[in-house]
Amino acid sequence: MSERISQFCDDLKLRLNSIESQLGKAKEKLSSASKDAEETIKTKLAEAKTKLEEKKEDLIAAKATLAQRLETKKEEVEAELAEWKEKKEQEKLLKHADRAEEYALAAILFAAAAAEEAEVAVLEAIEARKVAESITVTAVD
């Protein structure tokens, strides 16, 4: 395997491990969140929202890259790739490989941002449930 491919794979592994770690942390937070007081949940929600806001630019850029790559991919016909291979047009094939790598990295960034957004949504749902239940308990008393 070439050094560039090896580096690309290593980068993807790091990013995927980061997402897995992030999801694990979110799972831990959520399992403890059901036991936490309403204030603690609000604090966790505020932290998660802040973290999400910090990454919004990355998410917007990743979405743009994904959209651009999708359009480019549509324009690239499989016949062209076969022709490039046949004619051994390495420069074109290298550019194609670069774009494919950019797309893969953007997809990973998008997945990471989506995981953070999901964490915010779950914490908001827990907060909403706690508020609803506290009002119900108060009304019954």
Query: If you average pLDDT over residues 102-115, what whole number do you get?
Result: 87
More confident residue, 36 or 117: 117
Asked whether residue 20 carries a pLDDT value surpassing 60, the answer given is: yes
Question: What is the reported pLDDT for 37?
Answer: 67
Q: Distance between alpha carbon 87 and the CA centroid of its chain, in Å?
A: 38
CA distances from 44 to 60, 107, 130 (A): 24, 27, 14
Query: If you average pLDDT over residues 111-115, what whole number do you get?
Result: 86
Query: What pTM value is reported for the model?
Result: 0.55
Q: Under a CB-based contact definition with an 8 Å cutoff, are residues 39 and 127 in contact?
A: no
Tokens 């790739």, residue located: 81
Question: What is the reported pLDDT for 88?
Answer: 93
According to DSSP H, which parts of 1-141 are helical?
3-33, 38-75, 78-87, 90-140
